[in-house]
Structure 1
Amino acid sequence: MKKVKAIIERAGDGNYSVYMDADNISYLITGTGTTAAEAIASFKDNYEDMKRYYAEEGKEFEELDFDYQYDMASFLSYFSKAFSLAGLSRITGINQGQLSHYVTGHRVPSARTKEKIQKSIHSFASDLSQVSFV
């Protein structure tokens, strides 16, 4: 199964979109919503619709595995169910007010800040993966 990037972004109007970043696929899937979660759900539904359409038309459908990649606003929106801004601030060392600007799209983090956030979250996830209970 081919792995394809699915880019999740917050638009200027505050809505979210998901789109495939692949040139060599015979179809294109997108999704939109008022939240990142809605956009991802729309994207997944549209993928299933495309799969059904190809089956109905008797066409061969290339199954894909998606590698979701987020802009900062989309990440913060989507994972707000797991991370509060205060908690994310503690994990990353980035001021909570600054993170709030990223959520609203008023500011965009620099490449260095994005890398710092990504490394901090991966480190936190690694710590969580080692948890065991007695």
Structure 2
Amino acid sequence: MNTIKVFIVRENDGSYSSYMDEQANLPYGLVGEGATVAEAMDEWNRAYNDMKNLFEEEGKEFVEAQFSFAYDVPSFLLYYAGKLTFAGLSKLTGISAAQLSQYANGYRNPSPKTTQKIQNALHAFGNELSQLQLV
């Protein structure tokens, strides 16, 4: 089964969209939209199931796929802004809070190296938290 990357993007109006990687190579296309990330992902899953049903109704072979959801850096920063501050992310990543703010607001775009640095720091932090035990 193919694993297809699905990008989650925050739109200018504050809503979220999800769309497939152009390299997906599937005989169908899918899009999800919603006021929140959860709504956009739910809409994505409904579109997938609807497409599967349509293929079955038309007697066409449906290509099953798994989906891996990924954020662009600005969308991630804006979505989690209420949970993760730029100051806190700066401590985790070593990237200044001002620079993170510029990414979130579209004034600058992170390089692939910087994007990887942010992702690695978040994964390390997540792993650290998963080991945490409170008493």
Give me the TM-score of the superposition, normalised by structure 1: 0.76
- Offset of 1:100 from its aligned partner? 1.8
Cα 1:105–1:33 change in 2 (3 A) is farther
In terms of mean alpha carbon deviation, does 109-118 or 32-41 score higher? 32-41
Structural mapping, 1:30-69, within 5 Å: 30-33=31-34, 35-69=36-70
1:56-96 superposed Cα distances (whole Å, 9 cap, x missing partner): 33333222111222211122234446423332222212222
- Offset of 1:124 from its aligned partner? 0.8
Q: Secondary structure at the residue paired with 2:108?
A: coil
How far apart, CA to CA, are the structure 2 residues paired with 1:117 and 1:87?
A: 12
Structural mapping, 1:38-117, within 5 Å: 38-80=39-81, 82-117=83-118
Partner of 1:20: 20
In terms of mean alpha carbon deviation, does 68-77 or 5-14 score higher? 5-14
Q: How large is the Cα RMSD of the aligned pairs?
A: 2.7
How far apart, CA to CA, are the structure 2 residues paired with 1:15 and 1:105?
A: 16
Q: Secondary structure at the residue paired with 1:106?
A: coil
Opposite residue 20 of structure 1, the aligned amino acid is: M
8 Å CA contact retained: 1:35, 1:77? no
- Offset of 1:102 from its aligned partner? 1.4
**Count of residues in Structure 1 that have an aligned counterpart in Structure 2:** 134
- Offset of 1:106 from its aligned partner? 2.0
